[in-house]
């Protein structure tokens, strides 16, 4: 049997890597060699991924974790170096009960109801960026004019980060998600974002506003360095993810005109359409990753304590036992149960916010520019295979 | 049907509210699950079963089918 490594390179930009699909046909879980030579596992089946991510015997803490792809290996090599320690408050890399403490402080801010209340403001922000794009005229890079600024401004307002300061974190935040960044660059970028957020936290203590960070400060539950870590996590998670869904989603729609028409013309189809785009595009294309704290059996295979397991979400979301005819983009199907937001206690905190942004963003864009089309051949659109979050680097469009 | 919710386990992802809004709500402060009723009538039961399936944390259960 040939040695399995984490599948990442794609022949067709919207389909999972061919090796992943081939493996998934054989079994739901496979032995895999991680980037540092660690012998762990790769999960390609939907049921196995659910079992893994729901199981408290698997840890998400960085000191246990092996990384499936090279590129960020320097980080692990240097993990003993305190400069590379994750900031306190970075709760995505904690286990319960430590994780629970942070998550519970935030969940009240991200409920379905809270997000409904935010809707008018998201609509207004959306209109603003569409107006500016229209005024500037075609052609345009949709990522720069719409897909990135919309979620970026929304998360800034929610957190209480001045949007005018975005120059101080947007480039760094992109850099932190690059697979090709050097350790020193990564350290420098992380340090800049942290010192920016730290400054902001101290300012909120003195002049609290009507925003999430000020609210967190007021609970008195968190120390400044913890608040800084939480804020950094939310800021990065909040704008690179939805931005890539909006960019890659628009690319998918423009290359599937019949599906585009469904989303543009039928308001009742929007919610389902967004779930299908989440499933089909699966922008989190590396991981989630967990490490067994004890021996655990998953789908008949014995995972030994200390072994890391990486999920390949793009192929898990094409599992034919869960989604019939999985490789077809069908905005009218029931795509719920997809794992685009993960599963288990770490399932995306911002998912209702992301849904609201997409439910508003896609139809508004398609209705404003009914003749929207790619300004270059589809194969010339640069894909983010080199980033931890998949998507398009740029999307040249015209109308 | 009888539905049980465990608010200590709930991670407030909100999937249940999206799936069966007549049965599940979220608490204003913590976002954790609130049962609007624990005895859903026939026409809501399919949605409740789906919500239980989709819940990422296993916080909601059906005690009596
Ligand atoms: C469509 C857009 C998004 C996708 C596909 C996405 C995907 C994910 C996934 C897969 C995880 C789980 C990671 C793991 O299990 O290791 C996660 C966690 C998380 N996401 Fe998102 N996300 C999106 C948008 C957002 C937004 C807008 C926010 C804004 C606040 C956000 C904040 C978070 C946070 C804080 C976590 C960590 C939760 C925890 O550890 O308890 N995400 N996301
Ligand atoms: S789906 Fe589960 S975790 Fe999410 S709010 Fe409902 S009960 Fe809680």
Provide the pLDDT for residue A36: 84
> Between chain A and chain B, how many beta carbons pairs sit less than 8 Å apart?
61
Provide the pLDDT for residue A290: 95
Whether A44 contacts A317, CB under 8 Å: no
The Cα of A54 is separated from the nearest Cα of chain B by a number of Å equal to 7
Provide the pLDDT for residue A76: 47
The Cα of B42 is separated from the nearest Cα of chain A by a number of Å equal to 21
Ligand nearest to the Cα of B3, by number:
2
The ipTM is: 0.87
| Cβ of residue B55 lying under 6 Å from some atom of ligand 2 | yes
Whether A362 contacts A273, CB under 8 Å: yes
Provide the pLDDT for residue A9: 85
Atom of ligand 1 nearest to the CA of A110: 30
Residue owning tokens 């974790």: A65
Question: Residue A272 carries which DSSP code?
Answer: H
Chain A residue closest in CA terms to B26? A111
- Rounded to two decimals, what is the model's pTM? 0.93
Between CA A163 and CA A263 the distance in angstroms is 30
Provide the pLDDT for residue A82: 61
Provide the pLDDT for residue A73: 46
Provide the pLDDT for residue A174: 75
| Cβ of residue A284 lying under 6 Å from some atom of ligand 1 | yes
The verdict on whether omega for the bond into residue A97 sits within 30 degrees of 0, i.e. cis, is yes
Helices (H) and strands (E) in chain B, counts: 2, 4
Going from the first residue of chain B to its last (65 residues), give the mean pLDDT of each consecutive group of 10, the final group possibly shorter. 90 89 90 91 91 91 83
Q: Atom 2 (ligand 2): residue with closest C-alpha?
A: B55
Taking an 8 Å cut-off on Cβ atoms, the answer to whether A108 and B29 are in contact is: yes
Provide the pLDDT for residue B49: 92
Provide the pLDDT for residue A275: 97
Taking an 8 Å cut-off on Cβ atoms, the answer to whether B31 and A336 are in contact is: no
Taking an 8 Å cut-off on Cβ atoms, the answer to whether A112 and B18 are in contact is: yes
**Pick from A220, A335, A221, A234: which is nearest to A281 by CA?**
A335
Sequential pLDDT tens for chain A (399 residues): 458 988 888 989 999 998 999 999 999 999 999 988 899 999 999 999 999 999 999 999 887 888 888 765 445 444 556 656 677 888 888 898 989 989 988 888 888 888 888 899 999 999 999 999 999 999 999 999 999 999 999 999 998 888 888 877 777 777 777 777 777 777 788 888 888 888 888 888 888 888 888 888 888 888 888 898 898 889 888 878 999 999 999 999 999 999 999 999 898 999 999 999 999 999 999 989 999 999 999 988 999 999 999 999 999 999 999 999 999 999 999 999 999 999 999 999 999 999 999 999 999 999 999 999 999 999 999 998 888 889 999 999 999
Residue A234 Cα, ligand 1 centroid: separation in angstroms?
Answer: 9
Burial A197-232 (b: 16+ CB within 10 A, else e): bbebbebbeeeeeebbbbbbbeeeebeeebbbbbbb
Between CA B60 and CA B63 the distance in angstroms is 10
Provide the pLDDT for residue B33: 93
Provide the pLDDT for residue A71: 63
Contacts of A110 in chain B (CB under 8 A): 12, 14, 31
Percent of chain A that is helix, strand, coil (3-state, to 5): 55, 10, 35
């Amino acid at each position: 049997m040939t040695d399995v490594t984490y599948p990442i390179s794609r022949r067709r930009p919207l389909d999972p890597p061919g090796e992943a699909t081939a493996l998934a046909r054989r079994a739901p879980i496979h032995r895999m060699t991680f980037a540092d030579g660690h012998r762990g596992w790769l999960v390609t089946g939907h049921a196995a991924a659910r079992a893994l991510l729901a199981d408290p015997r698997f840890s998400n803490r960085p000191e246990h974790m092996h990384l499936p792809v090279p590129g960020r290996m320097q980080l692990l090599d240097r993990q003993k170096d305190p400069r590379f320690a994750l900031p306190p408050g970075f709760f995505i890399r904690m286990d319960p009960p430590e994780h629970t403490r942070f998550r519970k402080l935030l969940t009240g801010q991200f409920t379905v109801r809270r997000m409904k209340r935010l809707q008018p403001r998201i609509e207004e922000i959306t209109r603003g960026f569409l107006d500016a794009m229209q005024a500037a005229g075609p052609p345009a890079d949709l990522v720069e004019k719409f897909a990135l600024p919309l979620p970026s401004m929304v998360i800034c307002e929610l957190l209480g980060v001045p949007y005018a300061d975005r120059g101080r974190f947007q480039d760094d935040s992109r850099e932190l998600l690059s697979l090709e960044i050097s350790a020193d660059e990564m350290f420098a970028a992380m340090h800049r974002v942290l010192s920016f957020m730290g400054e902001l936290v101290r300012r909120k203590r003195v002049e609290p506003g009507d925003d999430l960070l000020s609210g967190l400060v007021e609970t008195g539950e968190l120390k400044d360095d913890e608040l800084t870590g939480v804020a950094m996590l939310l800021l990065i998670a909040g704008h690179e993810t939805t931005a890539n869904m909006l960019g890659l989603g628009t690319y998918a729609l423009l290359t599937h005109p019949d599906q585009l028409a469904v989303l543009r013309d039928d308001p009742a189809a929007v919610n389902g359409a967004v779930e299908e785009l989440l499933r089909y595009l699966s922008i989190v294309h590396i991981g989630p990753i967990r490490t067994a704290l004890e021996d655990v059996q998953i789908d008949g295979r014995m995972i030994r304590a200390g072994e890391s397991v990486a999920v390949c979400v793009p192929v898990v979301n094409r599992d034919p036992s869960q989604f019939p005819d999985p490789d077809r983009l069908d905005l009218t199907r029931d795509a719920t149960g997809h794992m685009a937001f993960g599963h288990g206690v770490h399932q995306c905190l911002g998912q209702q916010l992301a849904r609201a942004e997409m439910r508003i963003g896609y139809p508004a864009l398609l209705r404003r520019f009914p003749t929207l089309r790619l300004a270059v051949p589809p194969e010339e659109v640069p894909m983010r295979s080199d980033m931890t979050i998949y998507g398009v680097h740029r999307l040249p469009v015209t109308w | 049907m009888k539905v049980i919710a465990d608010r200590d386990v709930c991670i407030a992802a909100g999937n249940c509210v999206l799936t069966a809004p007549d049965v599940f709500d979220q608490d204003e402060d913590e976002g954790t699950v609130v049962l609007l009723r624990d005895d859903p009538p026939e026409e809501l039961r399919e949605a409740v079963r789906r919500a239980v399936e989709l819940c990422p944390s296993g916080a909601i259960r059906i005690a009596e089918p």
